[in-house]
Amino acid sequence: MYPGKYPFRATFKRPTVSSDEIGNQSSTMQEIGRAWIALEPLSGREYVAAAQTQAETTHKILLRTPDFSIDNTCIVECQGNVYEIDSAPLDYLKGEISLTAKVKSGSA
C-alpha cells in the first residue's frame, strides 16, 4: 500500500468479566489484537466541571480492516495514551476503517 500511511503501532483491548471460585466478579482489559494506525486529532475543547478544568480531545483513527472485531466497548492504547472508541467502525475506503475516539488518560 503506502509506506508510512499508518505510522503508529496500537493495541486494541476489550473489557472482560471473570468470576473467581466464590463468585466475585472482576473486570479486566483483554488484548484482542494489534494494528498499525493513523491518528489524526479532530477537535479539542476545555470545560469547567466541579471547579476543575477538564480537557477533551477527539481523534480519528484509521487502520486497515483488522482480523479481529472492534466495537465501541474497546479501547486503543497508542503512544502512551488510552483512547475510548466513540463510534462503531465505519468503512472508510475499501480495506480501511475509520474510528472516532476520545483520549481517556495520558498513561497506558
Along the chain (108 residues), what's the average pLDDT of each consecutive run of 10 residues? 83 91 89 94 64 70 91 92 87 82 70
Identify the CATH number of the domain in which residue 15 sits: 2.40.10.270
Q: In this structure, is residue 3 part of a structural domain? A: no
Any long-range contacts for 21-30 (C-beta under 8 Å, 24+ apart)?
Answer: 29/75
Q: In this structure, is residue 41 part of a structural domain? A: yes
| Number of Cβ atoms within 10 Å of the Cβ of 61 | 24
Cell numbers representing residue 106 in the block: 495520558
Q: What is the pLDDT of residue 11?
A: 97
Strand residues in 65-95 grouped as ranges (E): 75-78, 81-85, 90-93
Domains contained in the chain, number: 1
Task: Tell me the pTM.
Answer: 0.79
Q: What is the pLDDT of residue 48?
A: 54
Q: What is the pLDDT of residue 63?
A: 92
Q: What is the pLDDT of residue 108?
A: 46
Q: In this structure, is residue 1 part of a structural domain? A: no
Range of the domain at 28: 8-105
Q: What is the pLDDT of residue 20?
A: 82
| pLDDT tens for each residue of 59-87 | 899 999 899 999 889 999 999 999 999 88
Q: What is the pLDDT of residue 46?
A: 55
